[in-house]
């Protein structure tokens, strides 16, 4: 029913060549890139707002010190090179010279220190936590930055991407009220494109940064990000040639096969390796009978995830095997079996303490696919004899209900950020289970053994030691089924085949279109 | 009553409407018998076109669910929402309008300001906000629809009561020593009934439309298969499976059309001179 | 050859009506300069033939037989295009209700000028000049102002004058006047009749005048046609038909006309007053009176005082707007008076509230004008009659028994109990209304224009019934009417009101024949058909 | 007249304030707040970050303080700041309002004009096949769900026939100017405006027809016929003008309400108007934006009511203006 992804290999080949290497085909300069953006970003100031759309658009403007390939290995960008001390506590970055912000001001180590230590520590939703590992920062000269960590922090080298650590121009922000700085409306970064115009509700226009520090880049003259709020209309926009790139999630999954089969159309699910969106259902372990592991196992085996993948996700993505996504570091493949097995599920249910209770399913209010998914799960449950009911909500209501732990099972998907210490442990640590947040240990999973292992693994300096620790963690957690893991979501980027290189890093379209070029026919 | 039927039957459209509505009601009643399985059950592969497989005459939707079964069960929901929300709206609007019209003066002023207030907020937007607050379960969908649709009732009833209040038979009732409540209930409201009935039939139609619009936007009860939901869910696949949007739309169209035809018939039969007043 | 000849005309009603023909076997001629009155009671089909002449029959009503010849040409069934030339040009028409007959959104001048426009006559400025002249001719006081006025800004009489001006615009051969004075006050009516008479003489125009009022007929008709249920029962010269009617129906109609000379003063003044009204005041204000609105004040009743003695009937007469009905409503507290006292058996009704008001109010009951709107169309007669009794605590069974007695008392069969009001005729309904008023054993009956909406023959019966009941039940009555003849027939004393005040009061004979005030005299003078009445007296004597 | 308008404006201010207060409590009664939504979109967020966001937005203040601050601003026509979009609400609305006004304005005018014309045509020949066709069509439009017509229209005219663009406000990046731009916008406008207009057209048509028939039974029409006026003249000069009064009342009521219908149309056709802005703001709990849109739309309703009254007075001399 579903076609294989045709262009994965091509994309991979390009990536292996590296951003600065020469291309097989000779890139052509010029042209306009039309991209869909949905929803309209609230702001383009990536240091303050880090939601998906902002990140995607502002990724052309802001940059960080490195870029990451599909295996999450770091490569130089604003930093030319770096060293890590033996004890894993000192990181020294050597910055590229001759880089300027869009307004012409040179980019220096002072900007890095200001960004990391002042601006992002205060304004960024995650950076505050990461910077707790940093004891101090030094800028011995204009092109050197040194981080002194309190103790080794395994994932540290993984945080220098534009969405996590965007470089903010110090000269515009220092000493101002960051949130209300007028400069937020005309974002200035070091990236390949410059902000030109934003017609709210309609489009955002970027133009080429002529002074970009990488020679010959970027190739295209301008980018339009089109705001089209209706998924069907976005598909039409692609068909009628108004837009050329449909980033993951732009069109409804149901529409993907049709659009994919159009002429001159390529598709890739690459570019999500860093975020590795993993979907699961929180199980409220404080609610009876969900505290019974047999009930949870029965529910787990009841889920026909293959059907969901094929019918709802166009066969994209992978069936999750546990709490760590397969593209994330330290993923263990051989965890206990949680596959679809309704007979086993019925048997488990019969042995369990389940007694006809109605399970409240809180769906994720992110569009049709998720609604359908909740409906499908409800049917899966009913087929093994679990009564269930879908609780309606919108985004705000979902947040509130999950934060207040007012559900039995709740859909969610979260980014892994490349490393279990960044993206996984936060949702399983016993001391991170306080109500009030929808992204911590919402299920209230309490396991002192895994807690201890998580703590230790985060600060291990040795790679293999970490791998072993995370394997143990994964085995224990999968056996307990505190959550019902669904899919490693595959968000396909659809684009015209003559648009070259839209995806070439682990961040995909979020990482700026510096290497994109358009082949003229 | 005999006259009523005679005049009603004279209106061909109204009879057609009545037949359609009867079919819809029948469908709603028989749905659980003919389609005992849940309409949510995934019975076949997704996107089966209509008339391609026995037993699934209208094909399947995005999850392989029986479209015909969905339409049948949806009839029940549409009628239920239309009817109950109209009753609730009448339960708010009739007393408000009756009191405003009968007591006049300050009471009238206060009640009408209140009504006006509700009319100043765009009703569809208000319904959306209400559902955002309550979160859309069937009960709250009905309540939200009722809340946005009572003001016209109040205005109509007020107008009727205002004109009936000065009629001589009401004055005679006052002189006969009847209390206000008795006068309103026994003398005024029965005479205001024809236009209220006509309005109510149109309100049922409007409520069905409103419910489907809300469901279309994803503000319906997710556990209930309704026509609006079906269109909303099929909207994204309109290009590959246009019939999934088309069929429930036709169902809504026919039902609402039937109710409007009946409303017109009632109008002709009950109150030939109402046309001007009805909004 | 006559100007207009109608032969064997039959006008069919739509299917399902209570009879097949609105009018049939209609034959009459109309000569130049002649006034022909068609007279009949409601439903007699008297306006149908006139409407047929204009080609303006209501929807569904069609002429099915006969011919209409106008000025030698047959005009029945003429194509619409030809009819347009006749309408307004050679035959024109005026109607009963001049307010609704004028377009509320157009200025008077434009509506008159439209007639010329329709017939392609004159230039626009000439049309205006002609309109002014016409308005002047029909006696509108300030034509310059009137031409720019909207209909609602004129009085009833002025509106009818405008209608006439419009009808005369192209100097038609025939004017059809369909009850043109029925909605007007008696003094205005007299003026309009004079106007029509004058115009006829000046222009030699023929007039078909449709009316139910024999007084009017007597004053203006050259010839008369009497109609009953769609057929002509009698026709002839006015004097002939009016004074020596040959058909029994005509006779009955003429006998039923109340006469100014019929009076029956009871000598009631010696007894105690049962109702004393002192300095009654009532003011209406229109406009919201809020921050920005302008308040308009009408003093509807001012300083009204009188006494009603037990067993007596007082008539309150006056033209519309005189405040006579307001007085009645204040007495029973359908309206709250602004000042003064209404004493009934020691209690001041004007002051009472709550249950005290309720207890005392039953002593005064009212009979209403409109037999159609005074009965709840959705209540059976039994409920209408028993409801009050039950509300005052009479057991249901007793109340029902009493209701049957009452029906018998007003001359209806007990089988009426289970029927709805629409199953009765106007006269019968009025009897039910009377029975309802009597149900609570009141001391005083207030009859507000109680017979005004009834045809003259039924009017007579109801008046007789009231007089009879009054005597048998020892009631006192306040009879509010605009019709001096009706007042003459039933009242012992008469109070004349004008603009909210009592201008004259006294025994009926005195007020009607030797009034003290100019106003009363003008009212009396305006009553149509007085000469005729005297002639009848003489003939009858 | 001026005094009347002034009076109504004063009243309108009070109604607006009441609506603001009502909506303020209404929207704050909804579960969740903008901080939670925003943190949610960022994909992460610890309680301190949330608390920081709330503090930044002033959401940590007691409700009455927030209300007071809002009302104080609103009275001075300051609609506050969009928490989520990081810009003044007034600017956001000003950005979106022209598109909505264009859409609703065109839909309104078209529906009114064609509705009245169709109504007059139908009533002129009551019972004829022309009347039957017009009436049946009107009934159909009236009974059709707006969003469904929109979908079907987009499917047929945009996808199948490819005659018209199926979404958006203009061809983006095409850089049209002047007439080309106007034509471009017009092409984009046709589908949304006509689907939005159809429903209202049906209402006006039915209303006009019923009203025309009603008025044609009145006495003054008979007078007009008795004058020898031609049918057409009577229709236009006497019947239509009087028949328009109730249509105007209704149109005035709906001119304000048409914003509501615009939410659906704007959603389906991706029209960048305030209906959509509001729908999104509701989902995001962007309090100030929701209140701002309500404020504007309520003001529109009140404005149109006032215009209706004034038009009424101009047409109908009997109406006297009172506050």
Residue C218 main-chain phi, psi, to 5 deg: -60, -35
* Secondary-structure class of domain D92-322 per CATH: mainly alpha
Of A376, A396, A397, the CB nearest to B63: A376
Per-residue pLDDT, C400: 93
Of C100, C104, C287, the CB nearest to D318: C104
Domains A2-11+18-27+45-185 and A278-488 share a fold: no
State whether B238 and A368 contact (CB < 8 Å): no
Domains of chain C: 32-62+78-256 (3.40.50.300), 274-286+294-376+441-539 (3.40.50.300)
**What string of DSSP letters covers D268-318?**
HHT--SHHHHHHHHHHHT-HHHHHHHHHHHHHHHHHHHHHHHHHHHHH-TT
| Average pLDDT for C277-304 | 74
* Residue among A152, A147, A146 nearest A88 (CA): A152
Domain boundaries, chain A: 2-11+18-27+45-185, 278-488
Q: Is the dihedral of CA C158, C159, C161, C162 positive or negative?
A: positive
How confident is residue C268, by pLDDT bands cut at 50, 70 and 90?
low
State whether D260 and B235 contact (CB < 8 Å): no
| Average pLDDT for D91-119 | 89
State whether C436 and B174 contact (CB < 8 Å): no
Contacts of A49 in chain D (CB under 8 A): 38, 42, 86
Is the per-residue pLDDT at D147 higher than 60? yes
User: Rounded mean pLDDT of chain C?
Assistant: 87
CATH 3.30.110.70 fits A2-11+18-27+45-185, yes or no: no
- Chains A and C share 3 or more Cβ pairs within 8 Å: no
Whether the complex's predicted ipTM is more than 0.85 is answered with no
Within a 10 A sphere around the Cβ of A211, how many other Cβ atoms? Answer: 13
Per-residue pLDDT, A8: 35
State whether B237 and A254 contact (CB < 8 Å): yes
Residue of A310, A359, A392, A402 best to disrupt the B interface, most CBs of B under 10 A: A392
| DSSP H or E run through C39 | strand C35-40
| Average pLDDT for B256-274 | 77
Is the per-residue pLDDT at C294 higher than 80? no
* A59 contacts A162 by C-beta, under 8 angstroms: yes
* B141 contacts B147 by C-beta, under 8 angstroms: no
State whether C361 and B177 contact (CB < 8 Å): yes
> For B238, which residue in chain A has the nearest alpha carbon?
A232
Say whether D227 sits in a helix, a strand or coil. coil
- Chains D and B share 3 or more Cβ pairs within 8 Å: yes
**What string of DSSP letters covers A474-516?**
HHHHHHH-SEEEEEE----EEEETTEE-S--STTGGGG--TT-
CA distance C263 to C493: 10
* C210 contacts C48 by C-beta, under 8 angstroms: no
Domains of chain B: 2-40+57-278 (1.10.3720.10)
Per-residue pLDDT, D18: 86
Is the per-residue pLDDT at D43 higher than 60? no
What count of Cα atoms within 13 Å lies in the side-chain half-sphere of residue D160? 11
CA distance B236 to B112: 43
Of C85, C103, C291, the CB nearest to D323: C291
CA distance C205 to B274: 42
> DSSP code of C13?
P
Contacts of D297 in chain B (CB under 8 A): 121-122, 125
> For A394, which residue in chain D has the nearest alpha carbon?
D283
| Average pLDDT for C357-382 | 87
Looking at per-residue pLDDT, the higher value among D163 and C5 belongs to C5
Residue A175, burial from CB neighbour count under 10 angstroms (0-12, 13-18, 19+): exposed
In this prediction, what percent of chain B has a pLDDT beyond 90? Answer: 28
How remote is the C-alpha of C39 from its chain's centroid?
A: 15
Is the per-residue pLDDT at C262 higher than 90? no
Per-residue pLDDT, D275: 84
Of A32, A128, A401, the CB nearest to D173: A32
CA distance B227 to B82: 13
pLDDT digits (tens, 9 = 90+) for B93-151: 999 999 999 988 888 888 988 888 888 887 888 888 888 887 788 999 999 999 999 99
How confident is residue C86, by pLDDT bands cut at 50, 70 and 90?
confident
* C449 contacts C369 by C-beta, under 8 angstroms: yes
Within a 10 A sphere around the Cβ of A382, how many other Cβ atoms? Answer: 15
pTM over 0.90: no
| Average pLDDT for D164-173 | 71
Looking at per-residue pLDDT, the higher value among D4 and C74 belongs to C74
Instruction: Spell D65-97 as b/e; 16+ CB within 10 A means b.
Output: ebbeebeeebeeeebbbbbbbbbbbbebbebbb
Residues 6+ apart with CB under 8 A from C378: B190, B191, C420
* Residue among B219, B210, B183, B24 nearest B103 (CA): B183
Domain boundaries, chain D: 2-89, 92-322
pLDDT digits (tens, 9 = 90+) for C314-335: 999 998 888 899 999 999 888 8
Per-residue pLDDT, C225: 93
| Average pLDDT for C152-173 | 87
Per-residue pLDDT, B133: 80
CA distance C420 to A382: 60
3-state secondary structure labels for all residues of D54-100: HHHHCCCCCHHHHHHHHHHHHHCCCCCEECCCCEEHHHHHHHHHHHH
A372 touches chain B (CB under 8 A): yes
Give, in degrees to the nearest 5, the angle at Cα C248 between C243 and C252: 70
Of B222, B236, B238, the CB nearest to A392: B222
State whether A233 and D167 contact (CB < 8 Å): yes
* C459 contacts C256 by C-beta, under 8 angstroms: yes
Structure tokens at A323: 């709490």
Residue D164 main-chain phi, psi, to 5 deg: -130, 150
* A34 contacts A222 by C-beta, under 8 angstroms: no
Per-residue pLDDT, C18: 75
Does the N-terminal peptide bond of residue A218 adopt cis geometry, omega within 30 degrees of 0?
Answer: yes
B133 touches chain A (CB under 8 A): no
From residue D182, give the alpha-carbon distance in Å to each of A233, C515, D175, D178.
Answer: 22, 82, 12, 6
B132 touches chain A (CB under 8 A): yes
* C95 contacts D219 by C-beta, under 8 angstroms: yes
How confident is residue C53, by pLDDT bands cut at 50, 70 and 90?
confident
State whether D253 and B279 contact (CB < 8 Å): yes
CA distance A423 to B93: 55
How confident is residue C175, by pLDDT bands cut at 50, 70 and 90?
very high
| Average pLDDT for B148-168 | 90
- Our CA-based measurement puts residue C9 at a distance from the nearest CA of chain D, in whole angstroms, of 21
* Residue among B241, B210, B268 nearest B13 (CA): B268
Residues 6+ apart with CB under 8 A from A210: none
* Residue among C322, C368, C246 nearest C496 (CA): C322
CA distance A99 to A65: 12
CA distance A127 to D45: 10
Greatest Cα pair distance in chain B: 74
B228 touches chain D (CB under 8 A): yes
Of B169, B175, B177, the CB nearest to C376: B169
From residue A75, give the alpha-carbon distance in Å to each of A70, A404, C357.
Answer: 11, 41, 98
C290 touches chain D (CB under 8 A): yes
B210 touches chain D (CB under 8 A): no
Structure tokens at A521: 């026919």
Contacts of B136 in chain A (CB under 8 A): 392
- Our CA-based measurement puts residue D111 at a distance from the nearest CA of chain C, in whole angstroms, of 25
Strand order in the sheet with C313-317: C364-367, C444-448, C476-481, C313-317, C493-498, C501-507
Residue C481 main-chain phi, psi, to 5 deg: -155, 155
* C78 contacts C90 by C-beta, under 8 angstroms: no
Residues 6+ apart with CB under 8 A from B225: B39, B40, B70, B73, B74, B77
Per-residue pLDDT, C437: 92
- Our CA-based measurement puts residue C93 at a distance from the nearest CA of chain D, in whole angstroms, of 6
Is the per-residue pLDDT at C261 higher than 80? no
- Our CA-based measurement puts residue B185 at a distance from the nearest CA of chain D, in whole angstroms, of 30
Structure tokens at C162: 């405008």
Is the per-residue pLDDT at D323 higher than 50? no
State whether A39 and D280 contact (CB < 8 Å): yes
State whether C292 and D322 contact (CB < 8 Å): yes
Q: Which chains touch B (3 or more CB pairs under 8 A)?
A: A, C, D
pLDDT digits (tens, 9 = 90+) for D239-285: 998 888 888 888 887 777 777 778 888 888 888 888 888 888 887 78
Residues in chain C, overall count: 541
State whether D96 and A201 contact (CB < 8 Å): yes
State whether C366 and B171 contact (CB < 8 Å): yes
Per-residue pLDDT, A3: 34
From residue D185, give the alpha-carbon distance in Å to each of D2, D96, D104.
Answer: 38, 15, 14
In this prediction, what percent of chain C has a pLDDT beyond 70? Answer: 96
In this prediction, what percent of chain D has a pLDDT beyond 70? Answer: 92
Q: Which residues of chain A have pLDDT under 50?
A: 1-23
CATH code of the domain occupying A278-488: 3.10.105.10
Q: Which chains touch C (3 or more CB pairs under 8 A)?
A: B, D
- Cross-strand bridge partners of residue A411: A281
What is the DSSP pairing of strand D87-88 with strand D81-82? antiparallel
Say whether D163 sits in a helix, a strand or coil. coil
- Our CA-based measurement puts residue B41 at a distance from the nearest CA of chain D, in whole angstroms, of 25
pLDDT digits (tens, 9 = 90+) for B240-251: 788 888 999 999
Per-residue pLDDT, B141: 92
Give, in degrees to the nearest 5, the angle at Cα C512 between C511 and C517: 50
What is the DSSP pairing of strand C476-481 with strand C444-448? parallel
């Amino acid at each position: 029913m579903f076609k294989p992804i045709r262009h994965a290999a091509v994309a991979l080949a390009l990536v292996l060549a590296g951003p600065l290497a020469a291309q097989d085909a000779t890139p052509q300069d010029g042209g306009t890139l039309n991209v869909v953006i949905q929803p309209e970003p609230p702001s383009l100031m990536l240091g303050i707002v880090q939601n998906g759309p902002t990140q995607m658009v502002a990724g052309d403007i802001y940059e960080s010190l490195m870029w990451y390939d599909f295996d999450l290995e770091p490569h130089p960008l604003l930093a030319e090179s770096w060293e890590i001390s033996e004890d894993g506590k000192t990181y020294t970055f050597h910055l590229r010279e001759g880089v300027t912000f869009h307004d012409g001001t040179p980019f220096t180590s002072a900007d890095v220190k200001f960004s990391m230590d002042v601006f992002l520590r205060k304004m960024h939703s995650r950076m505050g936590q990461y910077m707790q590992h940093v004891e101090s920062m030094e800028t011995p000269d204009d092109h050197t930055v040194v981080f002194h960590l309190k103790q080794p922090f395994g994932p540290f080298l993984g945080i220098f991407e534009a969405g996590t650590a965007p470089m903010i121009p110090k000269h515009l922000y220092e000493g101002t009220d960051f949130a209300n700085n007028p400069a937020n409306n005309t974002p200035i970064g070091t990236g390949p494109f410059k902000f030109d115009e934003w017609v709210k509700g309609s489009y955002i226009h970027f133009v080429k940064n002529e002074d970009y520090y990488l020679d010959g880049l970027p190739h295209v003259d301008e980018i339009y990000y089109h705001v089209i709020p209706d998924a069907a209309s976005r598909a039409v926009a692609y068909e009628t040639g108004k837009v050329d790139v449909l980033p993951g999630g732009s069109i409804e999954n149901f529409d993907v096969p049709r659009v994919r089969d159009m002429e001159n159309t390529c598709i890739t699910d690459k570019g999500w390796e860093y975020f590795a969106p993993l979907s699961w259902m929180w199980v409220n372990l404080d609610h009876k009978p969900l505290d019974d592991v047999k009930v949870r196992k029965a529910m787990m085996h009841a889920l026909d995830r293959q059907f969901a993948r094929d019918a709802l996700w166009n066969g994209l993505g992978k069936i999750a095997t546990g709490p760590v996504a397969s593209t994330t570091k330290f993923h263990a493949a051989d965890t206990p079996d949680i596959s679809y097995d309704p007979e086993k599920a019925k048997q488990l249910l019969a042995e369990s303490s389940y007694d006809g209770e109605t399970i409240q399913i809180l769906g994720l209010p992110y569009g049709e696919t998720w609604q359908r998914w909740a409906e499908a799960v409800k049917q899966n449950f009913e087929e093994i004899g679990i009564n269930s009911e879908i609780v309606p909500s919108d985004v705000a209501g979902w947040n509130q209900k999950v934060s207040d732990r007012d559900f039995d099972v709740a859909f969610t998907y979260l980014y892994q950020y490349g490393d279990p210490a960044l993206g996984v442990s936060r949702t399983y640590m016993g001391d991170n289970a306080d109500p009030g947040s929808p992204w911590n240990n919402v299920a209230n999973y309490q396991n002192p053994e895994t807690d201890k292992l998580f703590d230790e693994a985060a600060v291990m300096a040795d790679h293999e030691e970490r791998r072993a620790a995370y394997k143990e963690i994964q085995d224990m957690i999968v056996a307990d089924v505190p959550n019902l893991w669904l899919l490693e979501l595959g968000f396909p980027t659809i684009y015209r085949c003559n648009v070259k290189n839209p995806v070439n890093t682990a961040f995909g379209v979020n990482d700026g279109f510096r290497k994109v070029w358009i082949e003229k026919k | 009553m005999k006259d009523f039927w005679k005049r009603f039957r004279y209106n061909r459209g109204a009879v057609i409407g009545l037949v359609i509505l009867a079919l819809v009601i029948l469908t709603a009643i028989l749905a659980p018998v003919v389609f005992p399985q849940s309409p949510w059950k995934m019975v076949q592969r997704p996107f089966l076109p209509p008339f391609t497989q026995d037993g699934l005459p209208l094909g399947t939707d995005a999850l392989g669910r029986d479209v015909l079964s969905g339409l049948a069960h949806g009839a029940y929901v549409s009628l239920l929402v239309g009817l109950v929300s109209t009753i609730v709206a009448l339960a708010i609007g009739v007393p408000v309008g009756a009191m405003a019209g009968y007591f006049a003066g300050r009471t009238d002023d206060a009640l009408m300001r209140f009504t006006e207030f509700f009319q100043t907020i765009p009703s569809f937007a208000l319904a959306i906000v209400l559902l955002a607050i309550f979160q859309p379960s069937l009960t709250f969908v009905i309540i939200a629809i009722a809340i946005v649709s009572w003001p016209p009732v109040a205005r109509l009833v007020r107008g009727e009561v205002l004109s009936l209040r000065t009629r001589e038979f009401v004055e005679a009732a006052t002189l006969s020593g009847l209390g206000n409540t008795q006068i309103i209930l026994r003398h005024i409201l029965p005479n205001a009934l024809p236009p209220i009935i006509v309005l109510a039939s149109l309100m049922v139609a409007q409520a069905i439309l409103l419910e489907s619009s809300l469901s279309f936007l994803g503000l319906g009860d997710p556990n209930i298969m309704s026509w609006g939901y079906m269109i909303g869910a099929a909207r994204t696949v309109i290009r590959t499976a246009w019939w999934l949007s088309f069929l429930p739309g036709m169902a809504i169209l026919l039902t609402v059309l039937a109710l409007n035809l009946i409303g017109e018939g009632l109008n002709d039969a009950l109150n030939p001179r109402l046309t001007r007043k009805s909004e | 050859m006559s100007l207009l000849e109608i032969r064997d005309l039959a006008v069919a009603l739509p299917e399902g009506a209570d009879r097949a023909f609105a009018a049939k076997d209609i034959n009459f001629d109309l000569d130049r300069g002649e006034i022909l009155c068609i007279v009949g009671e409601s439903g007699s089909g008297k306006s149908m033939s006139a409407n047929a002449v204009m080609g303006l029959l209501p929807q569904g009503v069609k002429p099915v037989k006969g011919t209409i010849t106008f000025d030698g040409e047959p005009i029945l069934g003429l194509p619409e295009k030809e009819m347009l030339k006749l309408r307004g040009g050679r035959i024109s028409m005026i109607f009963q209700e001049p307010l609704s007959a004028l377009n509320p959104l157009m200025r008077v001048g434009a509506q008159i000028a439209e007639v010329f426009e329709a017939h392609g006559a004159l230039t626009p400025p000439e049309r205006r000049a002609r309109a002014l002249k016409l308005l002047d001719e029909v006696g509108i006081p300030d034509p310059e102002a009137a031409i720019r006025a909207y209909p609602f800004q004129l009085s009833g009489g002025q509106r009818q004058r405008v209608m006439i001006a419009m009808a005369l615009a192209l100097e038609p051969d025939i004017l059809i006047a369909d009850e043109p004075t029925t909605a007007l006050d008696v003094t205005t009516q007299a003026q309009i009749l004079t106007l029509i008479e004058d115009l006829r003489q000046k222009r030699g125009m023929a007039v078909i005048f449709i009316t139910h009022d024999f007084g009017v007929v007597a004053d203006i008709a050259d010839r008369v046609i009497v109609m009953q249920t769609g057929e002509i029962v009698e026709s002839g010269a006015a004097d002939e038909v009016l004074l020596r009617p040959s058909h029994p129906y005509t006779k009955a109609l003429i006998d039923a006309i109340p006469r100014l000379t019929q009076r029956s003063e009871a000598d009631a003044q010696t007894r105690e007053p049962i109702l004393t009204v002192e300095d009654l005041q009532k003011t209406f204000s229109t406009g919201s009176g809020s921050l920005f609105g302008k308040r308009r004040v009408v003093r509807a009743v001012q300083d009204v005082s009188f006494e009603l003695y037990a067993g007596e009937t007082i008539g309150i007469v006056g033209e519309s707007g005189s405040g006579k009905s307001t007085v009645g409503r204040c007495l029973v507290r359908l309206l709250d008076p602004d000042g003064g006292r209404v004493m009934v058996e020691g209690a001041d009704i004007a002051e009472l509230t709550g249950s005290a008001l309720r207890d005392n109010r039953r002593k005064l009951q009212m009979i209403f004008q409109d037999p159609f709107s005074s009965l709840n169309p959705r209540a059976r007669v039994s409920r209408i009659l028993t409801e009050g009794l039950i509300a005052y605590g009479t057991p249901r069974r007793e109340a029902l028994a009493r209701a049957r007695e009452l029906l018998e008392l007003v001359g209806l069969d007990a089988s009426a109990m289970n029927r709805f009001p629409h199953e009765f005729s106007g006269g019968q309904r009025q009897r039910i209304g009377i029975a309802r008023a009597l149900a609570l054993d009141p001391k005083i009956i207030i009859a507000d224009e109680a017979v005004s909406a009834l045809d003259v023959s039924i009017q007579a019966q109801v008046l007789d019934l009231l007089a009879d009941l009054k005597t048998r039940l020892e009631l006192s009555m306040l009879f509010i009417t605009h019709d001096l003849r009706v007042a003459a027939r039933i009242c012992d004393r008469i109070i004349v009101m004008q603009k909210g005040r009592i201008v004259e009061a006294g025994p009926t004979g005195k007020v009607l024949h030797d009034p003290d005030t100019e106003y009363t005299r003008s009212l009396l003078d305006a009553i149509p058909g007085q000469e005729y009445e005297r002639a009848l007296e003489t003939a009858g004597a | 007249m001026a005094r009347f308008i002034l009076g109504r404006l004063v009243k309108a201010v009070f109604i607006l304030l009441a609506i603001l207060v009502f909506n303020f409590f209404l929207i704050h009664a909804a579960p969740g707040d903008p901080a939670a939504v925003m943190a949610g979109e960022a994909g992460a967020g610890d309680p301190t970050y949330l608390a920081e966001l709330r503090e930044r937005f002033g959401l940590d203040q007691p409700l009455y303080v927030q209300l007071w601050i809002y009302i104080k601003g609103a009275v001075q026509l300051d609609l506050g700041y969009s928490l989520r979009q990081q810009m003044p609400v007034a600017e956001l609305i000003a950005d979106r309002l022209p598109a909505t006004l264009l859409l609703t304005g065109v839909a309104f005018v078209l529906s009114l004009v064609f509705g009245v014309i169709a109504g007059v045509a139908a009533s002129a020949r009551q019972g004829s096949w022309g009347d039957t066709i017009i009436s049946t069509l009107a009934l159909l439009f009236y009974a059709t769900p707006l969003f469904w017509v929109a979908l079907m229209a987009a499917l047929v005219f945009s996808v199948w026939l490819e005659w018209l663009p199926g979404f958006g406000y203009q061809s983006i990046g095409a850089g049209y100017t002047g007439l080309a731009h106007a034509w471009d916008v017009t092409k984009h406008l046709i589908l949304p405006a006509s689907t939005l207009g159809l429903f209202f057209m049906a209402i006006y048509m039915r209303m006009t027809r019923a009203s025309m028939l009603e008025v044609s039974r009145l006495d003054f029409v008979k007078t007009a016929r008795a004058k020898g006026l031609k049918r057409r003249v009577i229709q236009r000069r006497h019947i239509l003008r009087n028949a328009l009064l109730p249509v105007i009342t209704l149109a005035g009521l709906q001119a304000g309400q048409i914003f509501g219908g615009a939410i659906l149309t704007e959603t389906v056709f991706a029209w960048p108007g305030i209906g959509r802005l509001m729908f999104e703001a509701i989902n995001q709990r962007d309090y100030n934006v929701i209140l701002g849109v309500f404020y504007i739309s309520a003001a529109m309703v009140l404005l149109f009511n006032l215009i209706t009254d004034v038009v009424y007075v101009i047409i109908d001399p009997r109406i006297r203006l009172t506050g």
